[in-house]
Structure 1
Amino acid sequence: MTLSGLLQNIEILKSHGSLDQAIKGIAYDSREVKEGFLFAALQGLHIDGHRYIEEAIARGAVAVLHSQALSQYRREISYIQVENSRRALSPLAAALYNYPSRELTVVGVTGTDGKSSTVWFIYQLCEALKKSAGFISTVQFKAQAGEEKNTLRQSTPEAPAIHKLLRQIKDSGSTIAIVEATSHGLSSRTSRLANVDFDVAILTNVTHEHLEFHGTFAQYRSDKANLFRALSRSPQKAHIPRFGVVNMDDPNHEYFRSQSDSPVFSYSLNNRQADLYASNVASYLSGSTFTLHHQAEEQSAAVSLPGLFNLENIMAAALTVIKLFEVPLAAVCAQLTAVKGVKGRMEIVDLGQPFRVFVDYAHTPGAFMRLLPLVKEHTRGKLTAVFGSAGERDIEKRVQQGEIAARYCDRIILTDEDPRGEDPMTIIRQIASAIEQAAPGKELFLVADRKEAIKLALTRAENEDTVLLLGKGHESTIIYSTGAVHWDEHGTALLCLEELGYRG
């Protein structure tokens, strides 16, 4: 596509050079530039892409998108100055891949916790009902032949990656795309999802998270609600229903309902006013049994996934496919026993040891409150939690995590999560201070090295104890000030168990 074709929906402040350049791709990382690419110079928290324009040109860039005045302009290069190059990147990416979301049924899932699981559950139900789908989540993608791990360390990738994946989903023959929509991705500050035409918007829950980015809870909630506002903004597609789904048990559900002109349906664990509600619920670490009610239908069901939080996510997925495909409740419930959990979500680590070990991604106060009471209730021995908190992220949640852990855990081992540019021990001590204040005398250890922390937890575990390894889940790196280092939580736990003599 020519540069002029890409720029049709862009407000240009100034331009230099020809607009007839053929553009073969877009990159915002100069190391990813190839011959014939447009390089988007983005201003980030630590890195300013304008400093890498010459490197991008050396690698083959023929056009540059920028927001700052430049000291030099090469005659053979096209330069496009805009007010905000990050925001302009979204419509450029959509145009480059010929607006793939217009050709798909696009389901967006937002919320503080449960997004990746809900995306994964919807995908599995679609496949079970013979509806071809692809998906984009924190954990993995399914855009072409098979599922692949998300190695980007971005729950919602930047716009070029989003539209490329959506194009691959469409070109692979799928008709449905399920997209994890984070508050960062939905924010106008990043505009990663600004040019995705959504048909379905789902809210799992909203609790305390990412205030370092959004500033206030009100802004955080509003940015998430952009997904529901998108239902009104996006052009209606032929023969594709448009609706929202909200968790009626979340106190913010009415706010999200009010942000869309489309019908918004609800689910609840106990409120009979919801469009889909549950009764006769029995929840264990091994799974849950329950009865679902939808309109005049009533159906007993079970899932092999622990906790009420997984049941909530299952209900969000079930209600979505019921409304999307107009199928009866019974047809969906028949598929629930086969639904599998997401990697790194209450994932069992077992080498025959006399205590239970789980890897889970829980890293927010809300996730701690959903998980820790459940595990405590079903643990005969002591409950140990190994966790930390991310650097350069929401500082306020560190105290909350500590207070919740102190309430439910018998032993707490604090360690690195992703310190980034912060001092690791400073983060750990902030959490520790909350624990010491909430529960003086609590068995507490501060071990920055995550492998050593896990080994300590496993060494001290006894018969019928439970050890929770929290915060990393599926992630494949730990980020320090010096960069990212490889990490495998499940694999590290197995290695530590082997070092302690367990062989399975």
Structure 2
Amino acid sequence: MKRLSAIPLNGKYFSECRIPPSYNPLIKHICTDSRTCTANSLFFAIEGLHVDGHDYIPEAIQRGAVAVVHSKELTYYDSALAYFRTDRIRTMLSFLSAEFYDNPQKQLTCIGVTGTDGKTSTCEFIWQLMNLLHVRCGLIDTVHMDDGSKCIPSPYRQSTPEPTELYPFLSQCRKNGLAYVVIEATSHGLSDECARLKDIEFSAVVFTTVSSEHLEFHKTLARYIDAKFNLARQLVKNGHIVSARDFPYLESLKSIAPKHARFATYALDSSSDCDLAAVTLAHDLYSRTCRINTQDHVEIPFGPGFFTRNMLGAALAVSQLLSIQVDKICSLFNQLKPIEGRFALQRFQLPFSIIIDFAH
């Protein structure tokens, strides 16, 4: 909780501020959905694709909002409340959410994972590997959330939650004594339009694959890829960028990355030079045996090659971040657990295989 005066609502991005004299209520909550407004809320009226938050300002006030951030001229202003107008409302939502929770991201080592496919699996494998190495690590992805108290199914409808959900999570990670957190970074979350991750700097980032997706939002493939590249732009000094060696936009990624970025690449069954290479020796639906760097027989408890690729990316990120030999990390592959809904093979005595999969 903070007093209104303690929240930086008078910066250069606000074109208009209406504050009653001596008005300084206690802000207990930041929200973008009028239905979640409670007493002493700060309500952001955001114009979305289907619903305009400006239409719900009266309901937000009725439910207890004491201040409103908006981007349009309003037809009515309650003289007893505070109003702040900005044309960068998504940017300010991220910034003020971070400020409201005392910038927990600055006290955490953040690892971001993006790509068209493989984001969730790579996040889960990083989280599992960190815990196998006895390094406590938070997690937020499509499937799970772990703030250091317990790993639970993610309660959010988005893989990368809104700042009003993300920063309470990061704050709880900090309170629970975590030093690391893995964040699934979607193109929407990374985009300038949504700006959910805009105020987070990442110590390590992983790029899995990129193909054409979400063009109904980004409009062009170039804009989609550029949104993904924001993850590299938000790298801390001397941070790590991990990518598949055959990542089709690797050279473009290198050209936009900070000069201090440290690159590492991985590959499966490829002759390309890279930092972590795996060659398949045998595999079936249920498992795979690989030669990985100097290790001749690494057992992987998943058959499909895309799992192996994601594990390689996860292992390389952990190795780079913790300065641990990557071979040691790869030796833990046989202890990794299946991920719910990700090519989950069901074992039955039937003449066919049953696979539960809701990834794309």
Matching residue of 1:485: none
TM-score by length of 2: 0.94
- Tell me by how many angstroms 1:281 deviates: 4.0
Counterpart of 1:100, as a letter, is P
- Residue pair 2:136, 2:148 contacting (<8 A) in 1 also: no
Change (3 A) 1:343 1:10: farther
Q: 1:254 aligns with which of 246, 251, 254?
A: 251
Find out whether 1:17 has 2:16 as its counterpart.
no
Find out whether 1:354 has 2:351 as its counterpart.
yes
- Which has the higher mean CA deviation after the structures are superposed, 43-52 or 76-85? 76-85
Matching residue of 2:154: 150
Change (3 A) 1:2 1:334: same
Matching residue of 1:480: none
Distance in 1 of aligned mates of 2:321 and 2:227:
25
- Give 3-state SS (helix, strand or coil) of 1:209's partner: coil
- Residue pair 1:114, 1:204 contacting (<8 A) in 2 also: yes
- Tell me by how many angstroms 1:361 deviates: 2.3
- Tell me by how many angstroms 1:113 deviates: 0.2
- Tell me by how many angstroms 1:125 deviates: 0.4
- Residue pair 2:203, 2:321 contacting (<8 A) in 1 also: no
The count of residues paired between Structure 1 and Structure 2 equals 353
Distance in 2 of aligned mates of 1:163 and 1:182:
16
Distance in 1 of aligned mates of 2:211 and 2:51:
30
Change (3 A) 1:341 1:279: same
Find out whether 1:127 has 2:131 as its counterpart.
yes
Q: Which has the higher contact order (CA 8 A, sep 6+)?
A: 2
- Residue pair 1:299, 1:329 contacting (<8 A) in 2 also: no
- Give 3-state SS (helix, strand or coil) of 1:156's partner: coil
- Residue pair 1:117, 1:341 contacting (<8 A) in 2 also: no
Matching residue of 2:51: 47
* Higher alpha-carbon Rg: 1
RMSD of equivalent CA atoms: 1.7
Matching residue of 1:263: 262
Distance in 2 of aligned mates of 1:10 and 1:43:
21
- Tell me by how many angstroms 1:219 deviates: 0.8
Matching residue of 2:141: 137
Q: Deviations over 1:194-216 (max 9, x none)?
A: 01121111100101211111111
Structure 1 or 2: larger helix share?
1
Identity, in percent, stands at 36
- Which has the higher mean CA deviation after the structures are superposed, 45-54 or 347-356? 347-356
Distance in 2 of aligned mates of 1:66 and 1:212:
25
- Tell me by how many angstroms 1:22 deviates: 2.2
Distance in 1 of aligned mates of 2:348 and 2:287:
21
- Residue pair 1:38, 1:62 contacting (<8 A) in 2 also: yes
- Tell me by how many angstroms 1:85 deviates: 1.9
Distance in 1 of aligned mates of 2:60 and 2:296:
58
- Residue pair 2:13, 2:88 contacting (<8 A) in 1 also: no
Find out whether 1:225 has 2:226 as its counterpart.
no
Distance in 1 of aligned mates of 2:288 and 2:204:
27
Change (3 A) 1:334 1:58: same
- Tell me by how many angstroms 1:300 deviates: 3.3
- Tell me by how many angstroms 1:299 deviates: 5.4
Matching residue of 2:315: 318
- Give 3-state SS (helix, strand or coil) of 1:278's partner: strand
Counterpart of 1:268, as a letter, is A
Q: 1:205 aligns with which of 192, 205, 209?
A: 209
- Name structure 1 gaps, 5 residues minimum: 364-504
Distance in 1 of aligned mates of 2:272 and 2:241:
19
Matching residue of 1:478: none
Distance in 2 of aligned mates of 1:40 and 1:281:
55
- Give 3-state SS (helix, strand or coil) of 1:223's partner: helix
Change (3 A) 1:209 1:283: farther
Distance in 2 of aligned mates of 1:168 and 1:287:
37
- Residue pair 2:245, 2:272 contacting (<8 A) in 1 also: no
- Name structure 2 gaps, 5 residues minimum: none
Q: Deviations over 1:86-140 (max 9, x none)?
A: 2221101110111111001100000000000000000000001111100110111
Change (3 A) 1:273 1:123: same
- Tell me by how many angstroms 1:10 deviates: 5.8
- Tell me by how many angstroms 1:351 deviates: 5.3
Counterpart of 1:266, as a letter, is T
Find out whether 1:174 has 2:178 as its counterpart.
yes
